[in-house]
Amino acid sequence: MADGTGTGGAGTAGPPDPAGPYAEDPWRNYFLILLDRIPTPIAVCHADGDVLIANPAMAAQWGAAPGQLRGRNLLDLFRPRAKEQVHRIAEALRLGHRSRYPVEVHWQSAADGSEREGELTVDPVGDPSLRPPVLLALLRVRDTPPPPTPRGTASPVEARILALAAAGATTAAIGTAMGLTVDGVNYHLTRLARRWRVQGRTALVAKAYVLGVLAPDSWPPAPA
């Protein structure tokens, strides 16, 4: 897998069939059906990284359909942590060595724009006489910690109403403490319930703690 340069198909009569030893019907169709059903992101590519075929799991990392990846280069999406890893693979392939080569990579997820990381394992496959060989690339995506729970949006008045409600104050008592009418208190609580998509005062208070609107270690309850 050269660093984005070269043709990868030099010295061959035409581009190799990505099905490799299974290129003859009906085995080619079986190979492609199996590839589509494997949940691991997989691509078959030239030695320079240009994609011959990719399964849906790999295409999803690009935010594309599998057929749209043909001719794209793996290095357009996956950025190696160390360029030396790619150079070592290119040299090994040039010398005819066949082994499994791991590359630490990171990339931006097409699904949510988050930064992901993992290991791209590159394995020469196919006819041993083919120089350079076709590469099978498997991506192992590392689990990333979930994003921190976002703080809820609540105005100072709403946060104070929630704090009083968490302490068990009635609507009338909240109104007296806040200088609001009963209808005014209910107006704020109703708006919060719609915004957070919950029903009832108990659920509102619980959601306020989850979203960080109320301080988790304060009694009597207080805005965070």
pLDDT at 72 over 80: yes
DSSP state letters, 125-171: ES-TT-SSPEEEEEEEEPP-PPPPPPPP---HHHHHHHHHHHTT--H
pLDDT at residue 14 in the model: 55
pLDDT at residue 43 in the model: 93
Peptide bond into 15 cis (omega under 30): no
Whole-number Å distance between alpha carbons of 170 and 9: 77
> What is the tens place of the pLDDT at every residue in 5-54?
433 334 444 555 655 555 555 656 777 787 888 899 999 998 888 999 89
What is the token pair recorded at 141?
């995506």
pLDDT at residue 132 in the model: 76
Count of alpha carbons within 13 Å of 112, Cβ hemisphere only? Answer: 5
Provide the b/e sequence for 196-211 (b: ≥16 CB within 10 Å): bebeeeeebbebbbeb
> What is the tens place of the pLDDT at every residue in 128-154?
666 778 889 999 998 765 555 455 678
DSSP state letters, the chain: --SS-S-S-TTSSSPPPTTGGG-STTHHHHHHHHHHH-SS-EEEE-TTSBEEEE-HHHHHHHTS-GGGGTT-BGGGTPEES-HHHHHHHHHHHHTT----EEEEEEEE-TTT--EEEEEEEEEEES-TT-SSPEEEEEEEEPP-PPPPPPPP---HHHHHHHHHHHTT--HHHHHHHHT--HHHHHHHHHHHHHHHT--SHHHHHHHHHHTTSB-TT-SS--B-
Whole-number Å distance between alpha carbons of 217 and 156: 19
> What is the tens place of the pLDDT at every residue in 73-127?
998 889 998 888 888 888 888 887 878 889 999 998 887 788 889 999 998 886 6
Contact in structure between 167 and 215 (CB atoms under 8 Å)? no
pLDDT at residue 5 in the model: 42
